[in-house]
Amino acid sequence: MKKHNYLFLLLLSISLLLGSCSTDDSGDPVDPTDDVGETPQPNPQPTEPQAINLSSYDNGSRVMMQAFYWDVEPRFAWWDNLSSKVADWSDAGINRLWLPVATKGQSGGYSMGYDVSDYYDFGNYTQHGTLETRFGSRAELENLISTAHDNNVEVIADIVINHNSGGGLQYNPYRDYDTYTLFDEDHGNASGMFNRTYEDFYPNSVSEYDPGSLFYSETNLDHHRERVQDWLWKKDNSVAKYYKNVMGFDGWRFDYVLGFEPWVVKEWLDEVGGFSVVELWDGRASVLEDYVEETGAGAFDFATFYNLEEGLDRYEDLNNLTDAGLWQTYPEKAVTFTANHDTEKDDNIDNYIKRSNKMKAYSFILTHPGYPTIFYSDYENESFQEELKTLISIHNSLAVGDTEVLYVDEDEYVMKRSGTGTNPGLILYISINNSTKRRTVSSNWNNVTLMDYSGNTTYNPTSDESGMVQIEAPANGYAIYSITE
């Protein structure tokens, strides 16, 4: 055979070898350094595509900050710590702060507030061994609320209206033994407001049934009693009206709503209004939907949280991301999240999204419908903060329009937001594969060069005349595509 034929065969072999490194429409792994030999792009890519100005596409959406974690430190200085951060959070796109329970609990200076004792002691009465709460003084709380309002940020009160703790012993004829059901100026209620006795707790002369006996079963408030309703939400100096009109809180996070009937939340909101979200710890979207319909309140979207935990962690199957979530039926009532003070403590295994998957989970809730919550410990983590700021910026600008899942399998998930009017929307591509992936999908953009606004890939494809475009997800990561200038 002649020499030039050998050379021809050698070149052909090299060409075939190079072609085998690139992706096809099956989403096979690709060599991220090699764009040569893959499915040809309809139009040449520009050398330096220019990002659109996201601030020009402000969609009015914002996110909430859960401004605490379990057993926050330093004690007695938390309100001042938050006050120093509010301006930065507001600039980043935060419009609400969910604060921990702000009043004195039985554990005094160590209490996270969920062992509520005095509903009106914000760190201004000496009891349970301390003047200030774990978080600081009343004056420091009032300064935090004022600072938040000055930065156009609402403040959400964590409300515990089921279980009480820290009262004095008294004989309880309905149980025929002594119970810690005496709350007065000398027994855990130094404010003297909403003093309580055994008649205010289950069982009593009005009620025998206790709907929520999981916590402090002897001191669960009976909301059927008119007196309890008056003090919690009806009277002018009720807990609800005092928090709103005197302290300046703008809304409510209702703790452990399984401990009382839904009508309680509805009546509270009918009386005082304000933003609301309930902690109904149930992974079934249908249960959350029923509660929203019955009360009018928002709800933490535990269904979506578990979809993310199962898809990214437990089963490593992104098909779980398409399971029902509250955001699909009640996006305006779904408060989505990836972590909270409960999921991030006590070595939770099935209630926890591991660190390596956190940003993928955030990319999901910050591009899908719903009202996302950022967890303080994640945002203040130097490894996450800039990435979260970027995701919040994308959420507050491009995350609009109808939602369509373009492709999903065990290790890939591609979702499109259609945009509205002049807002172009976005495409989210999550991969838990250990290799870079590419996939051709249908966009709403014809003959437009795209870029990843998360900054996780520099691959800039161009859509064809029908909107088809091949996008890329980095190994075990995500990308969020939209148009360029």
Instruction: Establish if 351 belongs to a structural domain.
Output: yes
Question: Residues 239-292: pLDDT tens digits?
Answer: 999 999 999 999 999 999 999 999 999 999 999 999 999 999 999 999 999 999
Count of structural domains, the chain: 1
Asked if residue 16 belongs to a domain, the reply is no
- What are the angstrom distances between the C-alpha of 285 and each of 258, 301, 351, 413, 416? 16, 8, 16, 21, 22
**pLDDT of amino acid 47:** 60
Cis amide prior to 211 (ω within 30 degrees): no
> Whose structure tokens read 């329009």?
401
- Alpha carbon of residue 196 to chain centroid: 35
What are the tens digits of pLDDT across the range 49-102?
Answer: 999 999 999 999 999 999 999 999 999 999 999 999 999 999 999 999 999 999
More confident residue, 39 or 254: 254
CATH number at residue 251: 3.20.20.80
Query: Residue 94: phi, psi to the nearest 5?
Result: -85, 135
The residue range of the domain holding 104 is: 58-395
Distance CA 235, CA 240 (A): 9
Q: What does pLDDT average to over the chain?
A: 91
Within a domain: 18: no
Read off the pLDDT band of 34 (50, 70, 90). very low
Q: What whole-number percentage of the chain has pLDDT above 70?
A: 90
pLDDT score of 216: 74
Q: What is the CA radius of gyration of the chain?
A: 27
**What pLDDT does residue 29 have?**
61
Task: Give 139-174 pLDDT, tens digit per residue.
Answer: 999 999 999 999 999 999 999 999 999 999 999 999
**pLDDT tens digits along 294-352:** 999 999 999 999 999 999 999 999 999 999 999 999 999 999 999 999 999 877 777 89
What's the rounded Cα separation, in Å, for the pair 257 and 240?
Answer: 16
d(CA 404, CA 335): 20
> Before 74, cis peptide (omega within 30)?
yes
3-state secondary structure the chain: CCHHHHHHHHHHHHHHHHHCCCCCCCCCECCCCCCCCCCCCCCCCCCCCCECCHHHHCCCCCEEEECCCCCCCCCCCHHHHHHCCHHHHHHHCEEEEECCCCCCECCHHHCCCCCECCCCCCCCCCECCECCECCECHHHHHHHHHHHHHCCCEEEEEECCCECCCCEEEEECCCCEEEEEEEECCEECCCCCCCECHHHECCCCCCCCCCCCCCCHHHEECCCCHHHHHHHHHCCCCHHHHHHHHHCCCEEEECCHHHCCHHHHHHHHHHHCCEEEECCCCCCHHHHHHHHHHHCCEEECHHHHHHHHHHHHHCCCHHHHHCCCHHHHCCCCEEECCCCCCCCCCCCCCCCCCHHHHHHHHHHHCCCCCEEEEEHHHHCCCCCHHHHHHHHHHHCCCCCCCEEEEEECCCEEEEEECCECCECCEEEEEECCCCCEEEEEECCCCCCEEEECCCCCCCCCECCCCCEEEEEECCCCEEEEEEEC
Determine the Cα–Cα distance for residues 151 and 339; give it in Å rounded to an integer. Answer: 25
**Token pair listed for 252:** 């409510």
Task: Kindly state whether residue 159 falls inside one of the protein's structural domains.
Answer: yes
Using DSSP bridges, classify how beta strands 371-375 and 251-254 pair: parallel, antiparallel or unpaired: unpaired
What pLDDT, on a 0 to 100 scale, did the predictor assign at position 347?
A: 72
pLDDT, tens only, 424-456: 999 999 999 999 999 999 999 999 999 999 999
User: Per the domain annotation, does 53 fall within a domain?
Assistant: no
- Give domain status of residue 457, yes or no: no
Q: Mean pLDDT across the stretch 34-48?
A: 48
Q: Report if residue 324 sits inside a domain.
A: yes
Domain for residue 110, yes or no? Answer: yes
